[in-house]
């Protein structure tokens, strides 16, 4: 995934979450130096969501460094953590960290299909 | 406050909070376009802190736009909100949004002195 496409997907997710009443921000690159930070964080009434974003149209493996980051956000931050996967021409699905860990980071189309929709996530 | 000095102060705050066990991030400039985002956000076990950072050695007025942003983070996000004021050669104090609003955004040295220390904030 190119940096530019990834950036656009992150920004799209931020706006989608904002429209659903969340306060959402992208985490800056500089904030990632040595400190764990997901791509996008969203907060509503004390509920914290943390996302690593993917914009990709095939099976892929989530780097273990990203899984470790999400685990920290879940454990230390108390966040609900997801891989936010935008499949080209099919849209967003949200795969829970628990599911991703069960798959050892290997995600296929069937995992996308089984993920939560934006409506389910923000209900 | 120059952009560069402000940036350095924000990054310092991120690192200070990280050392105290918080997950902390700077909010990126791009994330500020049209969407409310404080300078720094920190999370620990579901507790959310939001900060506007100041690095300044005299009385100043917090722009009302920044106060509005913090109010949104408090109301929608459920965050504890502060002006994080680094006074040159004296260090950080954290002034609660409630106090800042009582002062109508006008902060003086006495408000810095009355603010919380990092220890108090992260206890």
Reduced 3-state DSSP string for B19-32: HCCCEEEECCHHHH
Can you tell me the ipTM of this complex? 0.73
Between B8 and A100, the higher pLDDT residue = A100
B73 part of contact set with chain A, CB < 8 Å: yes
B27 tagged catalytic: no
Which residues partner with A52 through β-bridges?
A83
Cβ-defined contact of A21 to B76 (cutoff 8 Å) = yes
- A23 contacts A40 by C-beta, under 8 angstroms: no
Q: Which of A6, A13, A23 to substitute to test the interface with B, most B CBs within 10 Å?
A: A23
- B83-94 per-position pLDDT tens digit: 999 999 999 999
In this prediction, residues B13-38 reach a mean pLDDT of 79
Q: What is the pLDDT of residue A45?
A: 87
pLDDT reading at A12 higher than 50: yes
The per-residue DSSP string of B59-106 comes to -EE--HHHHHHHHHHHHTT--EEEEEEEETTTEEEEEEHHHHHHTTTE
Q: What is the pLDDT of residue B29?
A: 59
Q: What is the pLDDT of residue B37?
A: 82
Q: What is the pLDDT of residue A7?
A: 83
B41 part of contact set with chain A, CB < 8 Å: yes
- B44 contacts B14 by C-beta, under 8 angstroms: no
> d(Cα B36, Cα B34) in Å, to the nearest integer?
7
Which residues partner with A43 through β-bridges?
A23, A48
Confidence (pTM): 0.83
Cβ-defined contact of A23 to B73 (cutoff 8 Å) = yes
> d(Cα A87, Cα A113) in Å, to the nearest integer?
10
């Amino acid at each position: 995934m190119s940096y530019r496409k990834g950036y656009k997907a992150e920004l799209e997710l931020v706006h989608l979450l904002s429209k659903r009443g969340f306060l959402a921000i992208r985490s800056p690159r500089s904030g990632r130096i040595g400190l764990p930070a997901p791509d996008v964080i969203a907060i509503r009434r004390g509920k914290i969501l943390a996302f690593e974003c993917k914009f990709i149209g095939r099976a892929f493996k989530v780097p273990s460094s990203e899984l470790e980051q999400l685990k920290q956000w879940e454990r230390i931050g108390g966040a609900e953590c997801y891989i936010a996967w935008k499949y080209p021409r099919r849209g967003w699905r949200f795969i829970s960290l628990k599911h991703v860990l069960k798959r050892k980071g290997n995600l296929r189309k069937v995992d996308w299909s089984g993920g939560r929709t934006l409506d389910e996530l923000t209900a």
